[in-house]
Amino acid sequence: MRRKRYFQWLARADDADFLTLIWAVRALQTGNANVARRYITFPKEAAMDGILGDHAIFPWELETFVTSLFTTEKVKPRRGRHHRSNCTTFASIGVLTNLLRDLEGAEYVLMNKPEDIWEEMYRIGQRQFSWQRGPSTEQLYRFAYVYGQGACGEFFEEKNGLSVSDFILFSLALLGVFFSKPWTELPDPTNLGLPKAKMEKTLELHSVQLAQARKMASKLNADSSKRLGRPLRTAYMASLLRQKPIVRIDRKVPTYIAPLPLLIMSRATAGLYYEISQGPNQLLTEANTRFEEYIRRLLTAYLPELKAVKDGPYGPKGRKVDPPDCLVTDGDQVALAIECKTTKLTFEAQYAENPMAVARQGFEQIAKGIFQLWRFFSHARRKLYVTRPVSSDAIGLVLTMDGWMQMAARLRHTAMKRAEEMAADDANITKADMRRVVFASMQELNDTLAQTERSEFLAVLAHAITDKYDGYGLPEVARDCGVSLVRKRYPLDNCALLPWWDNFGSPEDRPGN
C-alpha cells in the first residue's frame, strides 16, 4: 500500500517540475530561501541552513526521490485536481517524504531480521556520510594527484579533450551556476577568461538527456538487483546522479538542471575512477602507487615531526617481502605502519544484505592488509626486518580510498577473522603480532590530521584500538577521547596540480576551507 502511494505520486509528477522542486528544497535548506521562493511556497520554519529541524528533508532522501522518479513509469496525464502531483509547494514534498519514510520502515520489517541492525547501520552510514561531510579541498587535491597525473592524466585528456585540472575547474564553475538557479542554457565562461569549448566538454561528461536518464537509471538498478539476487530496497537504489549529476531537456535550446548541485563535485573527484578504469589495467596500478605517495606526503605535511617512508623489499634472496606501504617514524622508531587499499567501494559493497559475501574481493583485500601488518610485526620482532627499529607498541592502520568500514563493527570483526585464517598458515606469527588494527578511509585520516598535532594524533590512534572505541571512526575518536584539538588548513600546495587555484581569491573563498 505504501509503495503504491509513493510511486503513484511520482508517476503523476511532471519530471521537469519535480527536478525543479528537488533543487528548490535543497536551496531552501542550505540557506538560500530567497532563491527557493521563486519556485516553491513554504512555511518559514522550513527555511534552514543544515539538516536538523522538524521540517528537514535530508539530501539523501532527495537523491532517492530523483532515482525513484527516473525508474517510475509515467501515467498518461488526465484532467482533474488529483491527477497531477503538485510540485510547487513544500507541503507537497512533505507528503512524499512521509510516504518514503513509511515505505523504508515497512521494507526493513519485511526484508530483514532484528539481528540485522548492525549491517543496517553500515548501510545507513554509506547512504548518509558523504552528504554529511560534503566535498573538501583535500578531495580535490587527492583525486587530481591520484588520477590527474602521468599516464592516468594523459588517458583522461586524450579521451575527453580536456585535462583533469580543467575538468575540476569547469565543474566548480558549473557548481557556482547551479547554486544560484536550477535551470540554465550552456553557460558562457568567456567572461571569466575560460574557453567555451571546454565548458561544452565538461557538460558532456556531467549531463544526460532526460529520456536517456530514465533508461540508464532503470538499467542500472535492474543490473544491481540481478547481481544482488533480490529486489532493491527503495532507500538503497543505485543513483544515476553519481554518474550524471546534470539532466538535459532538449527544447529549442538545450536546457540543463543539476537537482543536487554538490554531486557535480562527486563526479569531478571520486567519479574520475570511472574514466580511468576504462583504460589499460596499468592505469589503476599507477593510480594505486600514486595514492601511496599521496599518503606519505600528506602525513609529513600535516605533522613534520614525523617521517613517512616507503622501504624496499627485505628478507633473504629469492624470498623478499614488501614492507607496509607507509611506515611512519616518531624519532628513530616506527610508530605506525599503514597498508593502503584502493579497491573501489562498489554499490554492492555498500548496500548488499551481506556485503562481505557479495563484495568478497574488496573485503578480502582489507583482510589481506591486516595479515600483511601482522606479518610485518612478526618479522620486526624476529629481526627479519632490520631497516629501522619498530616500536613494540607500533600501531597498524588499514587505509582505504573509500569508506569501507564506517559504522561497520561486525564487518571489521569478520575481516579480522579472515586475517586470522591467513595468519594460521604462518606458524611464526604469534598472538602478540596479531594486534588490533585501525580502519580508516582517506577522508577520515585527513579529518583527524586536520585537528591534531603529533602527540594528539598518536594518542588518538592508541585510543582507537581499545575496546571502548571499537567500531568508531577516527574523527569520532578524536572528538571523544579527550585530546586537545586544533584547526589546521590543508597543507599541500593546490596550485602545483590545479594552477588556477589562486584565482579563487582569499583562502576563505575556496571550496572546502
Cα distances from 473 to residues 103, 166, 409, 513, in angstroms, run 30, 34, 10, 22
512 pLDDT more than 50? no
Contact 119, 72 (CB under 8 A): no
Is residue 337 included in any domain, yes or no?
A: yes
Q: Regarding beta strands 326-330 and 255-257, do their DSSP bridges make them parallel or antiparallel, or are they unpaired?
A: unpaired
Q: pTM to 2 decimals?
A: 0.90
- Among 33-42, 249-258, 458-467, the minimum mean pLDDT is found in 249-258
With residue 334 as reference, give the H or E element that holds it: strand 333-341
pLDDT of 299 reads: 97
Q: Do 173 and 90 share a structural domain? A: no
pLDDT of 288 reads: 94
Q: Do 255 and 234 share a structural domain? A: yes
- Considering 111, 129, 156, which residue would you say is the last residue of a domain? 111
pLDDT of 482 reads: 94
Is residue 196 included in any domain, yes or no?
A: yes
pLDDT of 131 reads: 85
444 pLDDT more than 50? yes
Q: Do 305 and 205 share a structural domain? A: no
Question: How much of the chain, in percent, has pLDDT values that exceed 90?
Answer: 72
- Considering 75, 96, 111, which residue would you say is the last residue of a domain? 111
pLDDT, tens only, 60-106: 999 999 999 999 999 876 666 667 899 999 999 999 999 999 999 88
How far is 315 from 380, CA to CA, in rounded Å?
Answer: 11
Q: Do 430 and 469 share a structural domain? A: yes
The number of angstroms, rounded, from the C-alpha of 369 to the middle of its chain's C-alpha atoms is: 21
pLDDT, tens only, 214-256: 999 999 999 988 888 888 889 999 999 999 999 999 988 889 9
509 band by pLDDT with thresholds 50, 70 and 90 = very low
Is residue 387 included in any domain, yes or no?
A: yes
Structural domain total, the chain? 3
Q: Do 423 and 351 share a structural domain? A: yes
Is residue 132 included in any domain, yes or no?
A: no
504 pLDDT more than 80? no
122 pLDDT more than 80? no
- CATH code, domain with 328: 3.40.91
Residues written for the chain: 513
| Cβ contacts of 229 within 8 Å, gap of 6 or more | none
Q: Do 86 and 29 share a structural domain? A: yes
* Average pLDDT taken over every residue of the chain: 90
- Among 190-199, 273-282, 421-430, the minimum mean pLDDT is found in 190-199
Q: What is the DSSP string of 57-125?
A: --HHHHHHHHHHHHTSPPPPP--STTSS---SBHHHHHHHHHHHHHHHHHHHHHH--GGGHHHHHHHHH
Which residue type occupies 67?
Answer: T
Q: Do 254 and 212 share a structural domain? A: yes
pLDDT of 230 reads: 83
360 band by pLDDT with thresholds 50, 70 and 90 = confident
pLDDT of 422 reads: 96
| Cβ contacts of 386 within 8 Å, gap of 6 or more | 314
Average pLDDT over residues 471-498: 94
How far is 368 from 408, CA to CA, in rounded Å?
Answer: 18
pLDDT, tens only, 469-482: 988 899 999 999 99
Is residue 457 included in any domain, yes or no?
A: yes
pLDDT of 467 reads: 92
Average pLDDT over residues 310-321: 92
Q: What are 495's three cell numbers?
A: 596550485
> How many other C-beta atoms can be found within 10 angstroms of the C-beta atom of residue 248?
21
382 pLDDT more than 90? yes
Q: Regarding beta strands 326-330 and 183-184, do their DSSP bridges make them parallel or antiparallel, or are they unpaired?
A: unpaired
511 band by pLDDT with thresholds 50, 70 and 90 = very low
Q: Do 34 and 183 share a structural domain? A: no
pLDDT of 128 reads: 83
Average pLDDT over residues 291-315: 96
Q: Do 466 and 338 share a structural domain? A: yes
pLDDT of 506 reads: 47
How far is 422 from 369, CA to CA, in rounded Å?
Answer: 11
| Torsion angle (degrees, nearest 10) of CA 35, 38, 44, 48 | -30
407 band by pLDDT with thresholds 50, 70 and 90 = low
Q: Provide the 8-state DSSP code for 407.
A: T
Is residue 493 included in any domain, yes or no?
A: no
Contact 6, 61 (CB under 8 A): no
Q: Do 299 and 265 share a structural domain? A: no
Question: How much of the chain, in percent, has pLDDT values that exceed 70?
Answer: 94
Q: Is residue 185 packed enough to be buried (19+ CB in 10 Å), middle (13-18) or exposed (0-12)?
A: exposed
Is residue 444 included in any domain, yes or no?
A: yes
Is residue 103 included in any domain, yes or no?
A: yes
Q: What are 37's three cell numbers?
A: 521562493
Q: Is 168 left (phi over 0), alpha (psi -120 to 50) or beta?
A: alpha
Q: Which residue has the cell 614488501?
A: 322
How far is 146 from 297, CA to CA, in rounded Å?
Answer: 12
Q: Do 395 and 327 share a structural domain? A: yes
Can you list the pairs that 377-381 forms with residues at least 24 positions away whose Cβ atoms lie under 8 Å?
377/337, 377/433, 377/435, 378/426, 378/428, 378/429, 378/430, 378/433, 379/314, 379/315, 379/321, 380/334, 381/430, 381/432, 381/433
Instruction: Determine the structural domain holding residue 241 and report its residue range.
Output: 137-273+500-509
- Among 215-229, 273-287, 339-353, 487-501, the minimum mean pLDDT is found in 339-353
Q: Do 163 and 244 share a structural domain? A: yes
